[in-house]
Amino acid sequence: RTGSVVLVGGGPGSDDLLTVAATKALATADVVLYDRLSPHSHLADLAPHAELINVGKRPGHHPTSQSEIERTMIEYAAAGSRVVRLKGGDPYVFGRGSEEVIACQAAGIPVSVIPGITSAVSVPASIGIPLTHRGISHLFTVVSGHAPLTDNELEHLAGLGGTIVVLMGIGTLPHLVSGLRRFGAPGDLPVAIVERGFSPSQRTTTSSLDAVVQDAALAKVASPAVIVIGEVVRLAYDGDAEAHILLARAELLARVD
């Protein structure tokens, strides 16, 4: 029989945040290729009949190349296996999912995608940070920090306002901060760095745009982490009186509107 490939978004790492469709796909899989940031600690229970293949990458260490991942899942599917490609977050949010779909289509392999809960939204929410709030932020931008942004990108990002969410951005944080400040972002703009979201060792460092590079160094923050920049950071669960003042001002503005 002809096999198939399904790309499954595993969410931010907790088994509880897998979708129903994701658990069904895993339960019937013959082969699972999983990432480092996908929920894999109980994968043998979630995919009891599957061969489990770790293709995870760490920053600066890629034991399995992207082309090899694509070749492996195509070979298994061509031999008749139901292949699940389990990815952290959502396959189409900095997950290279579209590349894998294109590779399957080019090889004539049936392929589908099950969306996942992206860490860009869920990890800030885990500490009470809403990416939008009436009167405070009516938009958010999700940015990859894997490589430094250009001056043109930084200028537009600073000018947009709202909330900025950065994934894979610890290494390029100094460049991002200096660029945003250079193009007009205020130095007292709140920043939160949430490390290892939804894991037992989750940790949050809060700061401001002017101080975050130093504070991050002192706290020894490390990937994986989600960086949130914007006034909504003040609304986190451990927010102080400033958060209540901000909310009151936002509600007043909303009533005026």
Catalytic pick among 30, 73, 90, 168: 168
Cα–Cα distance, 178 to 197 (Å, whole number): 26
Check 24, 57, 210, 215 and give the catalytic one: 57
Contacts made by residues 249-253, CB under 8 angstroms, sequence distance 24+: 249/135, 250/133, 250/134, 250/135, 250/136, 251/134, 251/135, 252/135, 253/135
Task: Identify whether 57 is a catalytic site residue.
Answer: yes
The rounded distance, in Å, linking the Cα atoms of 52 and 55 is: 10
18, 11 contact by CB (below 8 A): yes
Task: Reply yes or no on whether 35 is catalytic.
Answer: yes
The token pair at 66 is 């992207």
**Quick one: DSSP state of residue 11?**
B
Choice among 35, 73, 87, 90 that is catalytic: 35
- Residue 45 CB contacts under 8 Å (≥ 6 apart), including other chains: none
Radius of gyration of the chain (CA): 20
Residue positions counted in the chain: 257
CA nearest neighbour of 135 among 255, 9, 11: 255
Q: Are 185 and 209 in contact (CB under 8 A)?
A: yes
**Residues labelled as active-site residues:** 35, 57, 168
